[in-house]
Amino acid sequence: MKRFKTVFLFLLCLCSTPEFTAGAMTPTAYRLSVDGTAAAGTIYEEKGVYMVPLRVVSEGLGYTVTWDGEKRVATADMSIAALSAVPGSTTYGRKGKLKVINLTQDFTYGAAAQIIDGRMYVPAEFFRDLFNNVTITDGVLTIAPQRAYLDGDAAVR
């Protein structure tokens, strides 16, 4: 009986970790678009926050994604900044790379990063803080780089 209680407590603790408590996140009917291209992946909702697959979106935007298993941190790295997420944490850290402008800052979102079926999910807002637009229109959640054009630019015409 003592052994049963020990195993039960171990399993209870294991199932209480962020990777296994994803039951609070519910899949949505939204489709995902990254920089104008349909992207594979489920969009979840937790506490009114839309959660998107980190690697799918990051790579669709041309970012590099790394996982540090020892520190348990995933990082989306772009040319001017990198933004990191830790499973179970609602705080995300951006580290700037520019010497002229300090882009380093921590952000807190309404939902923690979570791992579901081996994929890291982060709030869609995560990408807004890497200078992307995040919109929902006609059942599609779109994440795309912010773009600016100069007067006379052929793309404006």
| Longest CA pairwise span in the chain (Å) | 79
pLDDT digits (tens, 9 = 90+) for 134-143: 999 999 999 9
> At 88, is the secondary structure helix, strand, or coil?
coil
Pairing of the two strands 26-27 and 31-34? unpaired
Query: Average of pLDDT values for 122-132?
Result: 95
Long-range contacts, stretch 136-139, CB < 8 angstroms, 24+ apart: 136/30, 136/50, 139/29, 139/30, 139/31
- Mind listing the pLDDT tens digit for each residue in 57-77? 999 999 999 999 999 999 999
What pLDDT score was predicted for residue 148? 78
What is the pairing mode between strands 31-34 and 64-68? unpaired
- Percent of all residues in the chain with a pLDDT value above 90, rounded to a whole number: 76
Concatenated DSSP letters of 15-42: HTSTTT-GGG-EE-S-EEEETTEEE-S-
Query: What are the pLDDT digits (tens) for 87-120?
Result: 999 999 999 999 999 999 999 999 999 999 999 9
Running DSSP on this structure, what letter comes out for residue 60?
A: H
